[in-house]
Chain A
Amino acid sequence: MELVVPIFYIMAIGALVSGVMVVVQKNPVISALFLITLMLCLACIYLLLSAEFIAVIQVIVYAGAIMVLFLFVIMLLNLEKESAPLVKGRFQKLAGLVLVLLLVGVLAMTVITTGKQGAAAQTTVDVDTAVSNTVSIGRLLFSRFLLPFEITSVILLIAIIGVILIGKKKI
């Protein structure tokens, strides 16, 4: 049990390093590969947070399906030369950095204040340890979240139709 916290920090550092590499790398293919390692690190963190089903879905859907789609499009576009990987002006770069630092400050303040309030709020217990994580999520999906679950299927259908329409030769 003591191993959980060190593994979390290792995975967190891995996720941060690959996140930085996604932004810094000039080649989009290498960016995509680092995004895959980021998603695998996050899947490990989900496992440590006892969300086994989400971890598996993360590997299959995100690291598998979505990233294969990205790599496929990059391959299809055949990007030999990367034209202008970063924004041109110094001012734009600086403004982006300042805005992001502002965002970091706001988020840090929120995290600190939430941490103070959240320590007292550990009361509700909804998790049944007798059944597995997947069973509980399935039960929730087909009882409390039935309507959103059905709407997601409609969203996927609309996405399929839209992609076929957009992907046609002549628009």
Chain B
Amino acid sequence: MIPVSHCLILAAILFSLGVLGVFVRRNVIVIFMCIEMMLNAVNLSFIAFARQNNILDGQVLVLFVMTVAAAEAAIGLAIILALFRKNKTLNVDEINLLKW
């Protein structure tokens, strides 16, 4: 039996790595991948708790998270394509049309 706290620590480190990537990287596609990594870390903690409490609700919730992640990836990548067609750049520092 895997201790649930180790799963949670792994999930916490993966989530923090994702946050670090969003802070430090400037390529919008890599930032998007880091967001996917954060979603994966949250899924891991859901499944660890589902295992600990012997309830399947966590696994069903992971299913919904994956659906939303798929929809988000599709729309986000479409937006990135449209942005690149217009601005010819992927650097988020140069994509500042909505910046105050």
| Size category of the binding interface on chain B | 35 or more
B contact patch SS: helix
Interface centre among A23, A57, A76, A152 (most CB of B within 10 A): A23
Contact B55 A16 (CB under 8 A): no
**Chain B residues in the interface with A (C-beta under 8 A):** 1-2, 4-10, 12-21, 23-27, 29-30, 32-34, 36-37, 40, 43-44, 47-48, 50-57, 59-60, 62-64, 66-75, 77-82, 84, 89-91, 93
Q: Per DSSP, are chain A's interface residues mostly helix, strand or loop, or mixed?
A: helix
Beyond the given pairs A73-B29, A114-B8, 7 more chain A to chain B contacts, judged by CB atoms under 8 angstroms and listed by A's residue number, are A49-B48, A62-B40, A70-B73, A85-B30, A92-B23, A124-B54, A148-B64
Q: Is the CB of B71 within 8 A of A93?
A: no
State which residues 93-131 of A face B: CB under 8 Å. 93, 95-97, 99-100, 103-104, 107-108, 110-112, 114-115, 118, 121-122, 124-127
- By the criterion CB–CB under 8 Å, are A49 and B16 in contact? no
Q: How far is the CA of A62 from the CA of B66 in the complex (A)?
A: 8
- Whether B68 contacts A155 by the Cβ 8 Å rule is yes
Given known contacts A8-B2, A87-B26, A118-B52, is B37 in contact with A100 (CB within 8 Å)? Answer: no
Docked Cα-Cα span, A96 to B82, in Å, equals: 29
Residues of A in contact, count (CB < 8 Å): 87
What separation, in Å, do the CA atoms of A21 and B14 have in the docked complex?
12
Task: Report yes or no: A108 in contact with B9, Cβ–Cβ below 8 A.
Answer: yes
Expressed in whole angstroms, the Cα–Cα distance for A84 and B55 within the complex equals 46
> Whose C-beta in chain A lies nearest to the C-beta of B58?
A51
Asked if A88 contacts B68 (CB within 8 A), the reply is no
Knowing A103-B16, A166-B82, the reply to whether A70 touches B34 (Cβ < 8 A) is no
Q: Find the A residue at minimum CB distance from B67.
A: A152
Known A22-B37, A61-B70; judge A54-B90 contact (CB<8 A). no
Partner of A23, one of B20, B69, B77: B20
Which A residues lie within 8 Å of B91 (CB)? 83-84
Given contacts A45-B44, A159-B75, contact A93 B24 (CB under 8 A): yes
A14→B74 CA distance, assembly (Å): 27
Instruction: Quote the shortest CB–CB distance from A32 to chain B (angstroms).
Output: 6
